[in-house]
Amino acid sequence: MKAHDGMYIDGAWRPAAGQDVIEVVNPADEQVIGTVPAGTAADVDTAVRAARAALPGWTATPPAERAARLTALRDVLDARRDEIAETVTAELGAPLKFSQAVHAAVPIAVAGSYAELAGTYAFEEKVGNSTVYQEPIGVVGAITPWNYPLHQIVAKAAPALAAGCAIVLKPAENTPLVAQLFAEAVHEAGLPAGVFNLVTGLGPVAGQALAEHPGVDLVSFTGSTAVGRHIASIAGAAVKKVALELGGKSANVILPDADLAKAVNVGVANVMSNSGQTCSAWTRMLVHRDRYDEAVELAAQAAAKYGERIGPVVSARQQERVLGYIGKGVAEGARLVAGSAEPPRETGYFVSPTVFAEVTPDMTIAQEEIFGPVLSVLRYEDEEDALRIANGTVYGLAGAVWAGDEARAVAFARRMDTGQVDINGGRFNPLAPFGGYKQSGVGRELGAHGLAEYLQTKSLQF
C-alpha cells in the first residue's frame, strides 16, 4: 500500500503540523518501504479537538445505527483482508500465512463481535427505584503496539465506537501503515467525520501529548509495563480513567498426568508464533522433575522445526534486546538446547528459535519479558511447587494448564494469579475478556467486558 503523507483528522487526510517523518522498515530485508509523518503535540491537539466536536453527535446516535456503521467497517476490513495481511507482513515481518490467519482474520472477527454487541448491549437497566444508564466515557486516547498492529487497534477502536465514544489513535511507529489502512476503512464505512482520528508519531512525543491532553477522558494503552506505569502516573494526576494491557511472563504448567508430547509441542508453537512477540506467550514451561528430561528433548526437537518458519523480530533494537537476553541466560547458567545468542542471518532482524533447560525461577530469563522466540523450561517437585513458580513473577496476563484429568487442571488454574488460562489447549476466544492481574495491567479488552471499559455509570432515582 502507499503511505499517506498526512494525518487522518476530522474525516480527511490533512498535512502534519511539522515536516519530520518516520521511516518504515521491512524487518526481513532492512529496506525502507515508506514514510509517515512524525506527529507533534499540535497534531494531537487538532485531532482531540475534532474528536470533542464530533462526540455529542455520535453519543446521540442510536446504538442500532452505531452497530450498522461497525458492520460496514467489518465488511470493508474483510474485503481488504489480503491487503491487510500483505501490509503487516511488509512492516512487521510476519510470514504471509500467519498474517492472513491471525493479523487479518482476528481483527475482522473482533470488529464483527462489536458490531453485534453495539446493537444488543444493555445500556440501561432498572434497579429498584432507579434507572441506571451506561454512557460513553467521552474522548478516548488509544496508544497501540506493533506486535499485533491491527488487532490492537480494533480491540480499542471497535468497543470505543460501539460505546458511543470518539477516538484519537496513536499507533506504534514501527507499524503505522496498517493503521493508515484502518483509517481508510473507517472512512469507507461512512463513520461521521471526527469520530475516529489518526495521528502517527513517536511515543515520547505524540503518545505523551495524547496521554497528557486535557481533552482526553480515557487513555487506553497496550505496551510495556514501564511505559504503562508512566501513562498511569500522568492519568492519575489528572484523575483520568486508564486502561492498560501490559507485559507478561506466562506459565505453561504441565501436570504429571498430561499428554506430554502434545503439551510440549503446543507450548513451543505458542512461544514461536509471531516470533515470540506476544505479551501472553507461555514463555515459561513448568514440568514435573520425573518427566523433565523428556520434555526438554521434545522441546528442542519442536523448536528445530521452526528454524525456517518464523519471521524476524520487528527491529534491530528488538533483535539486540532478545539476543542480549539469550546471552544473559547462558551467563547465569541455563543450558541452551536450541538456538543461539548470535543472529542466524546476515540480513534481517532474525533470532533463532531458542530453548533453555536448567532454568531456575530466579534467573533473569525466568522473570523478565523477553519478547522474542525464547522458551525457558523449569523443573518442579509437586503441584504446590509448580503453583509457587507459576505465580512467582510480577506479571499475570495468561497461562496454560495441561492434565489428563480436566477437573484437576481447572482446580490448578483457579489458583493461578493470572487473567486467562487455556486448559488442555483451549482455543483463543475473541468474546472472552483479555487482560492481566498484577503488573500485567488494568482493565479488560474484548467482548462485553471490553465494551464496559469505555462506559461510565449514571443513576436516576424515581
Give the number of C-alpha atoms closer than 13 A to the C-alpha of residue 87, restricted to the C-beta side: 25
C-alpha cell at 15: 498535512
- Quick one: which of 19, 315, 25, 30 has its CA closest to 177? 25
- Quick one: which of 63, 96, 66 has its CA closest to 82? 96
C-alpha cell at 415: 489458583
- In this structure, the number of other CB atoms found within 10 A of the CB of residue 408 comes to 16
Task: Specify whether 245 is catalytic.
Answer: yes
Let me know how many helices (H) and strands (E) the chain has, helices first: 16, 20
Task: Specify whether 279 is catalytic.
Answer: yes
Annotated catalytic residue: which of 86, 245, 369, 445?
245
**Separation of alpha carbons 220 and 137, rounded Å:** 12
E-strand ranges in 263-412 read 284-288, 335-338, 354-359, 374-380, 399-402
Contact 252, 399 (CB under 8 A): yes
Helix (H/G/I), strand (E/B), else coil: 167? strand
C-alpha cell at 453: 471499559
Helix (H/G/I), strand (E/B), else coil: 438? helix
Burial letters 305-344, b for 16+ CB under 10 A, else e: ebeeebbbbbbeebbeebbebbebbeeeebebbbbebebe
Q: Is 239 exposed, middle or buried (0-12, 13-18, 19+ CB in 10 A)?
A: exposed
Annotated catalytic residue: which of 173, 184, 279, 369?
279
**Separation of alpha carbons 371 and 249, rounded Å:** 9
Contact 349, 92 (CB under 8 A): no
Please give the backbone phi and psi of residue 58, each rounded to the nearest 5 degrees, phi first: -75, -40
**Separation of alpha carbons 98 and 214, rounded Å:** 40
Q: Residue 239's Cα: distance from chain center in Å?
A: 25
The alpha-carbon radius of gyration of the chain (Å, integer) is 22
Contact 313, 93 (CB under 8 A): yes
- As annotated, the active-site residues are 245, 279
